[in-house]
Chain A
């Protein structure tokens, strides 16, 4: 039996395909745990997980918190404004402090790309990236692939996935493109030309500056959140124009396969990147993604928090 520990999960770019698939398998077990009368297993009893969120987030933080608690770990949340960072402490000192408190896993979200890698370099604890700037959000990609597996089967080869919206600023798009390509899917990225990153071709995806060709024959349609803070800026002049040209509505969805699924990492801007009827429609798996999120994060925390030691005898 293969035994393995994933000490850090910093990005999809840092893991092998085998590891990704193992995490997805393991998440099946934890999905079952989340559906039982007692939604808790003692696997991480006595372990400490510290969620450090320098950037505001409700759903990802809650999802990590629930995941840790369902594994029986002690979970502590630290927010950016309540932490010593607001008093001028450096990230390095924060890491040292958390290490001194014997954290087993540090889950970090930070506005700076590379923050999780930086923390992993200095921390004794396992480090899980919960989103770093415009770089990666690996657990989001894993939970999205997990949701796709649940709906479309394990074989991603030939599966057509459209990722649409602000590709340039989206760590969700980046992590998803990396993971989906790794698993063999055919990925199309679509967004306004101003919101497509430089060197986007290096991700190995088809790239379009219109929505329609990406939706054509798609099995999976993944809409990204338009960050309102970017609206009105030169990159994205008007919200109504965006909704008209890049919003997913029932008419556009008809371009995709009849049994296509629609995904969104949340929180949604209803009526902007996704219309009301599509968000609540039969193709939507948005709430399945939320449920998958806890299961996938349990799998990641379980492998990150367990310590290497001698396997013991059965009986």
Chain B
């Protein structure tokens, strides 16, 4: 296991990303952050915090479970534990920023775009991630990424949050998922 991003660099990076978002959206009163469950929850909450520091009005924050939109939804074993999707009102005409921890194959993001469209037609959709790694299977790219990383196919990135903040680490794909003591908060 090696550390890719420690809590300080995540905080610094997300603050910089918040500035970039505000610049690109001219303050963007129509901004909605939509976290992709569950990996995007902590990242979206932190990003919303920094956006709130820079702008008088904090952006709307929502979350999305994409299970029912997966391209293998009807062939993979069904997932009986689907988390809640909480979208603050209609997304019609909004600037939506999807937030996830890692961009990898692009399939999750494809599903998330479809899901977002079912809540109204946004003005535009962007994608913000902590880590953009190689291995894309669809023509999808991040609008904002803290770090771009080339990994071996047998490596995996784990993002988790503890009292110190958000960490991103590289693990062997075979190793158990979430490191002990890690907690991922719910987005309300």
B120 at interface, CB cutoff 8 A:
yes
| B-side contacts of A148, CB under 8 Å | none
Q: Is the CB of A312 within 8 A of B76?
A: yes
Interface residue stretch chosen among B1-9, B41-49, B104-112, B142-150: B104-112
Are B78 and A309 in contact, with the CB atoms below 8 A? no
Q: Does B20 contact A (CB under 8 A)?
A: no
Q: Are A309 and B79 in contact (CB under 8 A)?
A: no
What chain A residues lie within 8 Å of B79 (beta carbons)? 1, 3
Q: Known: A312-B76, A315-B102. Is A41-B68 also a contact (CB below 8 A)?
A: yes
Give the interface segment out of B11-19, B23-31, B81-89, B163-171.
Answer: B81-89
Decide yes or no whether A154 CB sits under 8 A from chain B: no
A32 touches B85 (CB 8 A): yes
**Is there contact, CB below 8 Å, between A315 and B72?**
no
Q: Are A306 and B105 touching (Cβ within 8 A)?
A: no
Q: With A37-B90, A314-B104, A315-B108 in contact, do A25 and B80 touch (Cβ < 8 Å)?
A: yes
A157 at the interface (CB under 8 A from B): no
> Shortest distance in angstroms between A89's beta carbon and chain B's nearest beta carbon?
30
A315 to B108: give the CA distance in the assembly, Å.
6
Kindly state whether residue A4 has any CB partner on chain B within 8 Å. Answer: yes
**Which residues of the other chain, B, contact A101 by a CB distance below 8 angstroms?**
none
Closest to B100 in A: A315
User: Is the pair B120, A37 in contact by a Cβ cutoff of 8 Å?
Assistant: yes
- In Å, the complex CA distance between A1 and B119 comes to 28
Task: Report the bound CA distance from A3 to B65 in whole Å.
Answer: 16
Distance between Cα atoms of A4 and B79 in the complex (Å): 7
Q: Are B78 and A3 in contact, with the CB atoms below 8 A?
A: yes
A5 contacts partner chain B, Cβ-Cβ < 8 Å: yes
Q: Are B74 and A306 in contact (CB under 8 A)?
A: yes
Pair B74/A44 contact, Cβ less than 8 Å: yes
- A38 at interface, CB cutoff 8 A: yes
Bound-complex Cα distance A22 to B104 (A):
30
- Is the Cβ of A4 less than 8 Å from the Cβ of B74? no
Q: Does B93 contact A (CB under 8 A)?
A: no
Q: Which of B104-143 contact A (CB under 8 A)?
A: 104-108, 114-115, 117-120, 135
Beyond A36-B119, A314-B104, whether A309 also contacts B84 by CB under 8 A is: no
Query: Chain B nearest CB: distance from A170 CB in Å?
Result: 29
Contact mask for chain A residues 295-312; partner B; CB cutoff 8 A; 1 contact, 0 none:
000000011011111111
Whether B77 contacts A28 by the Cβ 8 Å rule is no
Q: Which of B39, B75, B90, B106 contacts A309 (CB 8 A)?
A: B75
Interfacial chain B residues near A41, Cβ < 8 Å: 68-69, 115, 118
When the two chains form their complex, are residues B105 and A313 in contact, meaning their CB atoms are under 8 A apart? yes
Closest A residue, CB atoms, query B114: A42
* Complex: A315 Cα to B104 Cα, angstroms: 4
A290 CB to closest chain B CB, in angstroms? Answer: 22
Chain B residue, CB-CB nearest to A309: B75
CB of B103 closer than 8 Å to a CB of A: yes
B183 at the interface (CB under 8 A from A): no
A307 touches B74 (CB 8 A): yes
Q: What's the least CB distance linking A15 to chain B, in Å?
A: 13
B73: interface (CB < 8 Å): yes
Q: List, in ascending order, chain B residues with CB within 8 A of A4's CB.
A: 77-78, 80
- CB contacts under 8 Å to B, within A18-32, are 22-23, 25-26, 28-29, 32
The yes or no answer to A250 lying at the interface (CB within 8 A) is: no
B81 contact set on A, CB distance < 8 A: 1-2, 22, 25-26
Task: Indicate whether A45 reaches chain B with its CB closer than 8 angstroms.
Answer: yes
| Chain B residues closer than 8 Å to A22, beta-carbon distance | 80-81
B82/A29 in contact, CB under 8 A? yes
CB distance from B138 to the nearest CB of A (A): 10
Instruction: From known contacts A307-B74, A315-B102, infer whether A2 and B119 are also in contact, taking CB-CB under 8 Å.
Output: no
Q: Are A29 and B65 in contact, CB atoms less than 8 angstroms apart?
A: yes
| A1-14 Cβ-contact flags toward B at 8 Å (1 or 0) | 11111000000000
Within the complex, the shortest CB–CB distance from A73 to chain B, in Å, comes to 9
**What are 12 sample pairs from A and B whose C-beta atoms fall under 8 A apart?**
A29-B68, A29-B85, A37-B119, A42-B114, A43-B68, A43-B69, A307-B74, A308-B77, A310-B76, A311-B76, A315-B102, A315-B104
Question: Which residues of A come within 8 Å of B, CB atoms?
Answer: 1-5, 22-23, 25-26, 28-29, 32-33, 36-38, 40-47, 71, 302-303, 305-315
Pairs of residues from A and B, 10 with the lowest C-beta to C-beta distance, nearest first: A315-B104, A38-B118, A306-B78, A41-B68, A3-B77, A315-B105, A43-B68, A29-B82, A43-B73, A22-B80
A25-B81, A41-B68, A43-B68 provided; 14 other pairs, C-beta below 8 A?
Answer: A1-B79, A4-B78, A4-B80, A23-B80, A29-B82, A32-B85, A36-B118, A36-B119, A37-B90, A41-B69, A45-B74, A47-B74, A303-B80, A315-B102
